Structure 1
Amino acid sequence: MEQGLIHIYCGDGKGKTSAAIGLAVRAAGSGLKVLFTRFLKNESSGELAILDDISQIKVLHLEKSYGFFKNLSEEKKQEVRETYLRLWRAIELEILTGRYDVLVIDEFMAAYRYDLIPKEEAIEFLEKKPKELEIVLTGRNPDEKLVELADYVSEIKKVKHPFDQGIYARKGIEY
């Protein structure tokens, strides 16, 4: 690609990660190399097994799953911060290799909001990204700075969701 753009998939509806995965698969199917990463997600999500099988996609796996950040003890929150700072550094190093056409960072907004990645560095990374690199960021409530930097902002709005009736996430459907 001559010009890579920045996408944000945000909102309170189901489908942000699915949209990002769809773009990653489309890109890989077109011969583009994809780096897929994520914050604050469980390693047992069904999509990871399939993404790992696609030669054009490299997944940076999480060292450990932690659950909802806001529910963690201060000690666990510090462990999460250290883990995600290492992941952020790994993303930066991978992108510096120049091997990738597309970067997907799932739940970027939460990592940014909870200071799990250095905010100033994240903004600088997006501002100075390689010209050809397409970047996809997902999550709720993007910071206004991020919205300004993005070329696409797609909001997925919840109209109705089974969780409202007490039906919890189901393997193969929500994760």
Structure 2
Amino acid sequence: MEKGLIHIYCGDGKGKTTAAMGLAIRAAGREKKVFITQFLKSGKSGELVSLEKLKEYITFLPGRPVNKFVWNMNDEEKMEAKREHTARFKEIKDIIKNEDYDLLILDEIIATINNGFIELNEVIDFLKNKPETLEVVMTGRDPKEELIELANYVTEMQCIKHPFKEGIPSRVGIEL
């Protein structure tokens, strides 16, 4: 791969993770080596089932499942999330430094940064010093300006209408 670029999929609309996983599938289809982790997620999303079938090219590092929104966490749960997310990001940096990946997907890292679970400066330092050919995708709402400046692609998904606002819960295979 040529020079690896930085992508941000952000916004209040559905599709950030879906876009990132679509890129993972595209890269795997071209026999690129992909590394994925998800922050602030339960670890039960349907895309993980599909990605398991592509494990020859895609590595997934799960974190401790998070089954609450941050605003529902107590202080102890927030501290535990910070410890786990910070440690996992360090592990990811070590893996990326020592193994040859083409694409890294950091799903919901932007929310992780915004909630203080990973320091913005650590992510910026990683992005500035990443391997030359590594493509990086970050997802989440409200990216900091510093991340937008570093990115080569910034795509915003905008919610115009969503069934959740009508009381329809997430559905397996569509939102889960």
TM-score range relative to shorter protein: over 0.9
Identity %: 47
Cα shift readout 1:35-63 (whole Å, capped 9, x = no counterpart): 01110011111111221221100000112
Residue 8 (1) aligns with residue 21 (2): no
Cα shift readout 1:89-134 (whole Å, capped 9, x = no counterpart): 1111110123200000000110111111122111110111111000
Offset of residue 12 of structure 1: 0.7
Partner of 2:140: 139
Structure 2: which 5+ runs fail to align? none
**Is the contact between residue 66 and residue 80 of structure 1 (CA under 8 Å) also seen in structure 2?**
no
Offset of residue 170 of structure 1: 1.1
Distance 1:67 1:29 in 2: 34
Partner of 2:41: 41
Structure 1: which 5+ runs fail to align? none
The runs of at least 4 consecutive aligned structure 1 residues that moved more than 2 Å come to 63-66
**Is the contact between residue 11 and residue 141 of structure 1 (CA under 8 Å) also seen in structure 2?**
yes
Partner of 1:19: 19
TM-score between the two structures when normalised by the length of structure 2: 0.96
Partner of 2:51: 51
Q: What secondary structure is seen at the aligned counterpart in 2 of 1:41?
A: coil
Distance 1:64 1:153 in 2: 27
Matches within 5 A, 1:146-157: 146-157=147-158
Partner of 2:80: 79
Partner of 1:63: 64
Distance 1:67 1:46 in 2: 18
Q: What secondary structure is seen at the aligned counterpart in 2 of 1:105?
A: strand
Q: How many residues align structurally?
A: 175
Distance 1:79 1:109 in 2: 18
Partner of 2:170: 169
Distance 1:94 1:6 in 2: 18
What's the C-alpha RMSD, in Å, of the aligned pairs?
Answer: 1.0
**Is the contact between residue 105 and residue 137 of structure 2 (CA under 8 Å) also seen in structure 1?**
yes
Distance 2:125 2:99 in 1: 17
**Is the contact between residue 24 and residue 34 of structure 2 (CA under 8 Å) also seen in structure 1?**
yes
**Is the contact between residue 39 and residue 106 of structure 1 (CA under 8 Å) also seen in structure 2?**
yes
Distance 1:108 1:76 in 2: 18
Q: What secondary structure is seen at the aligned counterpart in 1 of 2:37?
A: strand
Partner of 2:90: 89
